[in-house]
Amino acid sequence: MAESKRKSKMISLRLSSEEYESLRAIYGQYGTRSVSEFARQAMQKVIAGTASPQTSVIKMRLDELDGKMNVLDREVTRLVEVLEKQLSVPSAEPREA
């Protein structure tokens, strides 16, 4: 499907927060600019037959896990920064007389 074709039809689907965050975490890795573009590209591959059902399911599951790992990595990094900031605050030490 050529990108120059005007897109006039729309579909809607519901995702859990985790599913959406997983998609947000990975869409850029596939050269897409948005979650919608990523979903469109994935559907095009299935329609074109370049993604076998079994391979597609495995790939989608791995991508989901990768996205969750990215979210987890960002959260761990944020927590480390918070801890480092708290530990770098000078404590009140007893003065020598």
Q: Where are the domains of the chain?
A: 17-86
Q: Which two tokens stand for residue 13?
A: 């689907």
Question: pTM here?
Answer: 0.46
Residue pLDDT, tens place only, 28-77: 888 889 999 999 988 888 787 765 666 667 877 888 899 899 999 999 99
Give the CA dihedral 45, 48, 49, 50, nearest 10 degrees: -50
Of 71, 63, 72, 68, the residue nearest 39 (C-alpha): 63
CB 26 within 8 A of CB 65: no
